[in-house]
Structure 1
Amino acid sequence: MSNDKDFEISAPRKIKKSVGTKTFEGISYLLLTLGSIICVLPFIIIVSGSFTDNTTILTKGYSLLPRDFTFAAYQTIFKSPKDIIQAYKMNVYYTVVGTGLGLMMITLTGYVISRKEFKYRNTISFLIYFTSIFGGGMIPWYLMYANVLNLKGHTLAIWFPALMSPFLVILMRTFIVGAVPDAITESAKIDGAGHFTIFFRIVLPVLKPGLATVGLFLALGYWNDWYRSSMFSTNSSTWQLQFYLYDLLNATTAMKQMASNVSMKTADLPTESVKLAMAVVATGPVLLFYPFVQRFFVSGITVGAVKG
């Protein structure tokens, strides 16, 4: 009769780390901690300054904690709630529509130029890459959209020009080549699947990291954009959030300058703290949204780096 001890599974032994390994890990964690602090500190200073009295900022500078706590900067920004809510609505509209359509066009283009059986894929890839190196310039770009396409004053002029990006097309092509082997698509063709069936049922489901990465780049580009509103918007109700804040800051600065010219008290106009509060208002939604796509974004960047 066998002994029960013969069937006992011994606990796995812990691998003892050498002194060099422990030292390396300790230095790595220390550098990562310092790097994280360096990245977070500026935003903490911005949030703190947005709640600090403007005169205190001018006389004592910035600090990690608010001094002479006040909501004056935010009261200035939200003095007209309807206007800033409208700017937020338009920014969300431009970001959602532009990101959705941009993802569709970039993914379809990346899929086409990733197929070896497509005769002109190298030519089109070269032309896409060429536009990322040489551009036509700002004036011809503006004249094309304003005069040729007649988009001035139309919301289409805000999100349409940024639908395609050479860098993002090449990045998406890299994702597709790395995630979808040719053997899978060939097998699907043998089974009678067409290009749209292959794209929507085989390619898209495995492209979540790539879609999240490209989508985040597109969304950040739309959310932080302001110059297209400055060139094409003729109605303040269609302004992007960044341009609305830019215009508000210019108005506040102009009021302070006028008050200074006539020897009036200017301390009540919180220009410096308004700048910081604007940064908080503009980046807040991005900071709230980023954690939901972080894991896809990190894996997407890693795949793109390895496969590219």
Structure 2
Amino acid sequence: MNNENRAWQWASHLILIVISLSCIIPFALLFMSSISEETSITKYGYQLFPKAYSFDAYSYLWKNASSILHAYGITIMITVIGTAVGLAMTAMLAYPASRKDYPFYKGLAFFVFFTLLFNGGLVPTYLIYTQYLDMKDTIWALIIPNLLMNGFNVLLMRTFFMTTIPAPVIESANMDGAGEVRTFTSIVLPLSMPILATVGLMQAIMYWNDWFNGMVYITEPQYFSLQNVLNQILSNINFLSTTNMSAATNVTMNLPGATVRMAIAAIGVIPMLLAYPFFQKYFIKGITIGAVKG
């Protein structure tokens, strides 16, 4: 029996190792491709162990270091502000929608769910934010449209409140004289750290990876986020690589194409990879409990 248990233990470890490698290898391939020579990728393709190494892609990006660093600052700012404000708004909307003793709590939940099925479309949304709210070429255009409030996150947090926060705890707080604001801030939120971390991480990832708002609402380079700057650099390389002007031939021959794409992806993904381990415990617990039907 012990031998069977040990065999199952080794088998489970082997399976987990294979799954872990399947997650790690793509990122390793991404980084190794970014430090490969352009000719090596053209001839042999993407390899974990390139035939020739080169840092030309990062040298090219270093020439745009000032704009990249400025974009990093913009992205960090909108990620922090958007995540904090969005998380607060999500929690304040999900809490009354989870209280069965509140009038119209089901109607509120249905209204949130309805926004997941239908929206006004790109053109009306663009007109509202640019002509009526005057957000074009402002930092708010990177924070509010499409990202600040997400119906899925609201329903996820609502389910967590309904299935995890005991109703007698809230009732006892009310009997002791605590108002709704005090109950929400002193009892509900401290007990909801897993779902807060889960929703916060998902919102942070959306803000960090967002390029659509910058493409639609931003034309001033001073407001470009990291994704927009990197996309602009990549577009410039593609343009120079495909141009037919003979004067640019010597320049385009030395431009990194495939390698700079990998370097751009590495620069964009590394911060999120470093942040995820700090939220992993809460993320797994929150997404599991919050997904249970209430």
Same-fold call, TM cutoff 0.5 = yes
Please tell me whether residue 89 in structure 1 is matched to residue 73 in structure 2. yes
Offset, 1:178: 2.3
What do the CA deviations read for 1:81-139 (whole angstroms, capped 9, x no partner)? Answer: 21110000000001000000001000111111111121011111001101101222222
In the alignment of these two chains, the number of paired residues is: 292
Offset, 1:25: 4.1
Q: 2:116 aligns with which of 110, 132, 143?
A: 132
Q: How many Å separate the matches in 1 of 2:129 and 2:7? A: 58
What do the CA deviations read for 1:126-157 (whole angstroms, capped 9, x no partner)? Answer: 01101101222222222221222221111111
What do the CA deviations read for 1:237-269 (whole angstroms, capped 9, x no partner)? Answer: 111101110010000111122267668243311
Q: How many Å separate the matches in 2 of 1:261 and 1:32? A: 54
Q: 1:42 aligns with which of 26, 32, 50?
A: 26
Residue of structure 1 in register with 2:282 after alignment: 296
Q: Which runs of 5+ in 2 are unaligned?
A: none
SS of 2:291's equivalent in the other structure is helix
Offset, 1:298: 1.3
Q: 2:238 aligns with which of 235, 248, 253?
A: 253
Please tell me the residue identity of whatever aligns with 2:233: L
Assess if the C-alpha contact under 8 Å between 2:40 and 2:50 holds in 1.
Answer: no
Please tell me the residue identity of whatever aligns with 2:39: T
Residue of structure 2 in register with 1:51 after alignment: 35
Please tell me whether residue 174 in structure 1 is matched to residue 159 in structure 2. yes
Q: How does 1:118-129 map to 2 (within 5 A)?
A: 118-129=102-113
Q: How many Å separate the matches in 2 of 1:202 and 1:38? A: 41
Q: How many Å separate the matches in 2 of 1:150 and 1:203? A: 37
Assess if the C-alpha contact under 8 Å between 1:55 and 1:267 holds in 2.
Answer: no
SS of 2:21's equivalent in the other structure is helix
Between 151-160 and 257-266, the greater mean CA deviation after superposition: 257-266
Residue of structure 1 in register with 2:17 after alignment: 33
Residue of structure 2 in register with 1:9 after alignment: none
Q: How many Å separate the matches in 1 of 2:271 and 2:30? A: 16
User: TM-score by structure 2 length?
Assistant: 0.94
In our comparison, the structure showing a higher alpha carbon Rg is 1
Assess if the C-alpha contact under 8 Å between 2:98 and 2:162 holds in 1.
Answer: yes
Percent of counterpart pairs with the same letter?
37
Assess if the C-alpha contact under 8 Å between 1:54 and 1:267 holds in 2.
Answer: no
Please tell me the residue identity of whatever aligns with 1:98: G
Q: How does 1:73-88 map to 2 (within 5 A)?
A: 73-88=57-72
